[in-house]
Structure 1
């Protein structure tokens, strides 16, 4: 780590889409972090009043700005746009359904300072009941792991090493990720070819391939309500998740396999979408309609 990285401030990027229910609490928690230099909200064409709420907050807060996109290019593209709006040596990518306790950013920076080549540092994501998010610590994605877990949501989950404050992992969650700008720029940022999901697995894998480390701060808890923006469009989310799985497989696994694997993997992903993801999305949509 360079001296500039160790002493510099942090630019935070929050990508919002119909996130009004949690967005203000997220932004207030970020603005309360002393190392924060700039907070950029990238709005991907929200249909609720997310933009109005951010504008109202920004009127009295010079560190806060709103980047309004007229369409939804996806999470990765919006993260890149937000990162380009600043120049601080550290980037913090945060979902709008996260809330950071006081001192979170200082503790993450202290952990990162102890790592020779920091690439991505995640936190101990927990829901309102204190349950840990299995996506916070993950293996690399592979077809074998998905098949072994029968396509389950937690197929890549790594167990928490309770006695270890800083746990090396293959991938951490894009819901909250501290990244040195130099590492971000070295790998070309997020891959905008992903629309939703899997982009964080790709990002972490490319960081590690470039010689940077990925870890999770087990002693830094962060509240993560999880999935607030995606609940309104479950089918859309599942479709793009499976597109992401295909893109990831083609980049990292396909080059080492015979061409005959491509139609087989495409068929397996189509079957997972049809038999598991589609019914789950439809059931969730029906449940939400009944609750209204």
Structure 2
């Protein structure tokens, strides 16, 4: 089978030697023609030492140090370093199945498919009721097109894009995502813009990543707060671009992640933490909506103006 070149991008911050498992799993891929771009925003040299030890014996591994602008900015920068027709993204706390690249590329080969997402399973099992693994998904193959409000296609730590479509869309919105000032939601935003522009998104169960990130309930609330802020900020920019779909997304988020989480916490989980998580989602989206108005927007791409275009460095995002 023909195996076109693939660029794989990992944005990392403060992982140290823990990223070794991610890179080791990728090097065991049955798909040989890839280049891994690791963009490191860490404040120490531990991650650099780990990545360079791999690069010394594998020319496919590339390392670059980046300013702390956030995951979306570094993912865009990593994508721009390569020229392969397909760009895959994963996180520094994932272990990848040997067929991960093959699974995503087999979907992205179809011209109408602009984005592909894969299955994410827990890489480590919680040992107590106070531990969770967020961001998992599975199920059969699914195709998303036409309905831009159906954003249940997967998670950003296991995804890929056709380069021409990714560049046409303007990549990730650099003010959305971990380390940026407007919360998370970056993969959903990219998916929404894909569907609105007429592209297809596919979820495939054949591209598998194992997520090694245990969180307690306090950590889960922090993560969900970031998504709540991001949901509001994304809704705000759509409205400012004349897309009333922002109201639909905001309303759906308030219901599914706010009211439904509260009901689930009371009736199913019988847990105060779950109720508090839902209550957060009735506030933080409005905080994100308010913050949206503080930042300029490129109406052509419906993305916030990137950090690189700010003359004042104080406008840059906080560390992830």
TM-score normalised per structure 1: 0.68
- How far does residue 194 in structure 1 lie from its aligned partner after superposition? 0.8
| Partner residue, 1:124 | 119
| Structure 1 runs of 4+ with >4 Å offset | 129-137, 230-240, 272-275
Equivalent-residue separation in structure 2 for 1:258 and 1:178 (angstroms): 25
- How far does residue 91 in structure 1 lie from its aligned partner after superposition? 0.3
Unpaired stretches in structure 1, ≥5 consecutive residues: 1-5, 138-159, 278-292
More deviation, 83-92/234-243? 234-243
| Partner residue, 2:49 | 52
Deviation per CA, 1:126-171: give whole Å up to 9, x if none: 013689977456xxxxxxxxxxxxxxxxxxxxxx55xx4x212433
| Partner residue, 1:220 | 207
Equivalent-residue separation in structure 2 for 1:173 and 1:252 (angstroms): 21
> Is 1:180–2:155 an aligned residue pair?
no
| Partner residue, 2:20 | 24
Secondary structure in structure 2 of the residue aligned to 1:111:
helix
Alpha-carbon contact 1:18-1:48 (below 8 Å) kept: no
Count of aligned pairs? 237
Deviation per CA, 1:16-66: give whole Å up to 9, x if none: 111235311111111222244211001123447112211222122211111
Equivalent-residue separation in structure 1 for 2:231 and 2:34 (angstroms): 35
| Residues 1:231 and 1:179: Cα distance change in structure 2 (over 3 Å) | farther
Alpha-carbon contact 2:117-2:203 (below 8 Å) kept: yes
- How far does residue 241 in structure 1 lie from its aligned partner after superposition? 3.5
232, 246, 257: which one pairs with 2:232? 246
| Partner residue, 1:112 | 108
Equivalent-residue separation in structure 1 for 2:220 and 2:133 (angstroms): 19
- How far does residue 216 in structure 1 lie from its aligned partner after superposition? 1.1
Secondary structure in structure 2 of the residue aligned to 1:172:
coil
244, 249, 274: which one pairs with 1:256? 244
RMSD: 3.7
Equivalent-residue separation in structure 2 for 1:220 and 1:58 (angstroms): 24
- How far does residue 235 in structure 1 lie from its aligned partner after superposition? 8.2
151, 165, 168: which one pairs with 2:143? 168
192, 211, 216: which one pairs with 2:174? 192
Secondary structure in structure 1 of the residue aligned to 2:195:
helix
| Partner residue, 2:195 | 208
| Partner residue, 2:87 | 91
Secondary structure in structure 1 of the residue aligned to 2:9:
strand
Secondary structure in structure 1 of the residue aligned to 2:207:
strand
Unpaired stretches in structure 2, ≥5 consecutive residues: 127-131, 145-150, 179-183, 259-275, 282-320
Alpha-carbon contact 1:122-1:136 (below 8 Å) kept: no
Alpha-carbon contact 2:124-2:213 (below 8 Å) kept: no
Equivalent-residue separation in structure 1 for 2:238 and 2:12 (angstroms): 29
| Residues 1:129 and 1:27: Cα distance change in structure 2 (over 3 Å) | closer
